């Protein structure tokens, strides 16, 4: 077949184009909702609650904030005069209400957009299954029923499943390939003296390139700011916690991560720094042991590396299918918005590479 004889990069490009077109065609778009109002109330504990009133007079989307300051931070464009005083209840208009639904095999994501007195508000909500969605967000039950029978739902679920399968294949081969290639590479040097020389040069190269990459990355990200305003499937309000760490603490943490207390656990957890260190040591001591034992171990890892490489090449040949599935899922669930986000990321990476 002609397509199978095409170079792999052309197959991937074709998969992206076809997946994008099909995804845009089946994308269901946003489901419009009736305009309504929302009430803002003060709570006895000092918090603030905002609750939307659905057209059928049922309570709709509700959120509670621990203090007026937190509420103001979330809804900066509403102004300070919107806060209720005492038992007072403030009412605001909720217009341009829309909900966008996308579903995977084990998750349903809703992107709920509307305007509070003209200010755009977006919330990402999720549920594990239709029953949970109807229980947690009954105001969107009818919208889901409209979406449930569409072609888009079947396409996104199928595409995401295929894409995840391909991604799992890539993850499956990553650790074995790193392990065998490192051991074979180090053991193939033949002498420990060459390893010492190589280690010094590698460390210097790693340090210089890391500094350049970090500096360039920070510069480009702050100039272009990719991802700002992006709404990703499954995304929601998140809280980032943790204490600031000094440079010394970060460096000490890296040193600690280099030595795995349990190499098997490091392999299972995908701790790449620990994996790299351990397998360099394995290759080094294969050289030190030498003799028949060293040769046996070297042959074992060489054979394992050959098998892993063949498996990797087979998985890579499936890349057009995986790329097609992922781009189909992305465009079917997000539409043209996904290209705006990707374009900024691509521009950032391109300029960083040029620098």
| pTM of the shown model | 0.72
d(CA 323, CA 234): 20
User: Which residue do the tokens 């043209």 mark?
Assistant: 336
Q: What is the pLDDT along the chain (355 residues), one digit of tens a residue?
A: 666 778 888 899 999 999 999 999 998 889 999 999 998 888 877 788 899 998 877 778 888 988 888 888 888 777 777 777 777 788 889 999 999 998 888 899 999 999 988 888 888 899 999 999 989 998 899 999 999 888 889 999 999 999 999 999 999 999 999 999 989 988 887 766 666 666 667 667 767 777 777 788 778 777 777 665 555 444 444 444 444 556 567 667 777 888 888 989 988 888 888 888 898 889 889 988 888 999 999 999 999 999 999 999 999 999 999 999 999 998 988 887 777 767 777 777 777 767 6
CATH 3.90.1170.40 fits 154-234+246-354, yes or no: no
Q: What is the pLDDT of residue 233?
A: 43
As beta bridge partners, residue 90 has 40
Question: Which residues have a Cβ under 8 Å from the Cβ of 15 and sit 6 or more positions away?
Answer: 320, 321, 323, 324, 327
Ramachandran region, residue 100 (left: φ > 0; alpha: ψ -120 to 50; beta: rest): beta
- Helices marked H in the chain — which ranges? 2-5, 8-26, 68-74, 130-136, 141-148, 151-187, 192-224, 247-258, 263-269, 272-289, 291-316, 319-334, 337-354
Outline where 225-271 has alpha helix (H): 247-258, 263-269
How many alpha carbons lie under 13 Å from residue 108 in its C-beta half-sphere?
Answer: 23
Q: Where are the domains of the chain?
A: 31-149, 154-234+246-354
Residues 6+ apart with CB under 8 A from 53: 36, 37, 38, 39, 59, 60
Q: What is the pLDDT of residue 193?
A: 66
What pLDDT was estimated at residue 213? Answer: 77
Q: Compute the distance between CA of residue 127 and CA of residue 137 in angstroms, rounded to an integer.
A: 9
Query: Collapsing DSSP states into helix, strand and coil, what is residue 273?
Result: helix
Q: Which of 161, 157, 149, 101 is nearest to 125 (CA)?
A: 101
Residue 28: the pLDDT is 85
């Amino acid at each position: 077949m002609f397509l199978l004889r095409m170079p792999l990069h052309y197959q991937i490009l074709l998969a992206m184009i076809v997946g994008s077109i099909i995804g845009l065609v089946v994308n269901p778009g946003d489901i419009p909702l009736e305009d309504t109002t929302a009430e803002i109330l003060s709570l006895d504990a000092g918090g603030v609650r905002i609750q939307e009133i659905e057209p059928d007079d049922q309570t709709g989307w509700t959120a509670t904030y621990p203090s007026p300051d937190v509420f103001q931070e979330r809804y900066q464009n509403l102004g300070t005069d919107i806060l209720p005083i005492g038992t007072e209840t403030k009412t605001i208009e909720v217009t341009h209400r829309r909900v966008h639904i996308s579903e995977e095999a084990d998750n349903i994501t809703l992107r709920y957009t509307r305007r509070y007195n003209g200010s755009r508000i977006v919330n990402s909500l999720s549920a594990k299954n239709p029953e949970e969605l109807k229980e947690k967000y009954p105001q969107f039950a009818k919208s889901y029923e409209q979406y449930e029978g569409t072609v888009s739902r079947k396409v996104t679920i199928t595409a995401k499943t295929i894409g995840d399968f391909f991604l799992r294949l890539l993850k499956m081969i990553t650790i074995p390939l790193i392990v065998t290639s490192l051991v074979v590479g180090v053991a193939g040097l033949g002498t420990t003296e060459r390893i010492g020389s190589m280690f010094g040069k590698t460390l210097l190269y790693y340090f210089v390139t890391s500094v350049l990459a970090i500096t360039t990355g920070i510069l480009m990200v702050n100039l272009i700011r990719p991802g700002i305003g992006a709404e990703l499937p499954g995304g929601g309000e998140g809280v980032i916690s943790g204490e600031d760490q000094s440079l010394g603490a970060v460096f000490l943490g890296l040193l600690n991560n280099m030595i795995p207390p349990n190499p098997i656990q490091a392999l299972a957890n995908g701790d790449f720094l620990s994996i790299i260190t351990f397998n360099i040591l394995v290759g080094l001591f294969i050289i030190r042991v030498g003799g028949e034992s060293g040769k046996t171990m070297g042959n074992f890892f060489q054979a394992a590396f050959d098998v892993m490489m063949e498996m990797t090449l087979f998985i890579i040949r499936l890349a057009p299918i995986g790329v097609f599935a992922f781009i189909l899922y992305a465009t079917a669930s997000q539409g043209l918005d996904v290209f705006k986000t990707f374009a900024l990321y691509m521009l950032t990476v391109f300029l960083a590479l040029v620098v």
